[in-house]
Amino acid sequence: MPELPEVEVSRLGISPFLVGEQVKSVSVRTPKLRWEIPFELQQITGQVIRRIHRRAKYLLLETDVGTAIIHLGMSGSLRVLDVALPPGKHDHVDLFMMNGKVLRYNDPRRFGAWLWAEKGSIHSVFDNLGPEPLSDQLTAEYMAARAKGKRVTVKQFIMDNKVVVGVGNIYANESLFTAGIRPTREAGSLTLSEWEQLVTEIKLVLAHSIQQGGTTLKDFAQTDGKPGYFAQELRVYGKEGEPCPECGAAVLAQKIGQRNTFYCPLCQK
């Protein structure tokens, strides 16, 4: 599914066409995705989109009366297209703009969401979320304090949105590899020095993936239709049996928390 870098790439892709522009109308062809699309979303009609930002894997389109909240789910994508282009089979929501563009939401699996929050309110989907991984709030000291006494694996710990948002499976694998930390270790066993290294690598891996346009494995493509290129730079994810890029040992794979996990048995301690 689209992870934080892919959502951030989508934000960067759509913002130049939408921020400062007025919404002409909303077309909802599929009233229920993961949840029912609220009728209140229609309030965005006639409003100017003042800002588009991201919280975790949600995109927020802010106006003077409220905020449209978009989640891409497992297979969702956003495109900015000319208004004359007809919708396809899996195009469920259109945001028509006065500038002749349309923000089109496509989602074959229909597990994404369009929500609405009135001005001044915070939607419940943002309850209990940890800090953003690229923010100053994510520090080694914070992670060490949260991990103290925790026996859950470090991989599951850094993927817990209550601890830190947006470190999805691909990026957890890659960050743990570059930090030299085995994913099966208990979170509470890491030293402060190891947390400093891991936090640094999480930030570097996510930032680099955003720069490369995200990671295209199956469903994700950028808003211009081009694939993300970070997949070409994956070092261990999906590479079971292949030589480790550092030491040449065969990359191992196992399930941790129902998720595929890849690591080097020599480089990661």
Q: Which of 89, 90, 93 shows the shortest CA–CA distance to 68?
A: 93
Cα-trace Rg, the chain = 20
Does the CA dihedral 31-36-40-44 come out positive or negative?
negative
Q: How far is CA 8 from CA 58, 81, 114, 148, in A?
A: 9, 19, 17, 31
Which residues are CB-contacts of 209 (< 8 A; sequence separation ≥ 6)? 5, 171, 215, 228, 230
Residue whose entry in the numeric block shows the structure tokens 């993927």: 159
Would the annotation count 123 as a binding residue?
A: no
Q: Can you read off the two tokens belonging to residue 238?
A: 């999906």
Catalytic residues: 2-3, 57, 259
Are 204 and 178 contacting, i.e. CB atoms less than 8 angstroms apart?
A: yes
Are 29 and 92 contacting, i.e. CB atoms less than 8 angstroms apart?
A: yes
Q: Which of 164, 160, 180, 157 shows the shortest CA–CA distance to 236?
A: 180
Q: Which of 64, 73, 66, 84 shows the shortest CA–CA distance to 10?
A: 73
Would the annotation count 24 as a binding residue?
A: no
Would the annotation count 90 as a binding residue?
A: yes
Binding site for DNA, by residue number, is 90, 109, 150
Binding site, by residue number, is 90, 109, 150
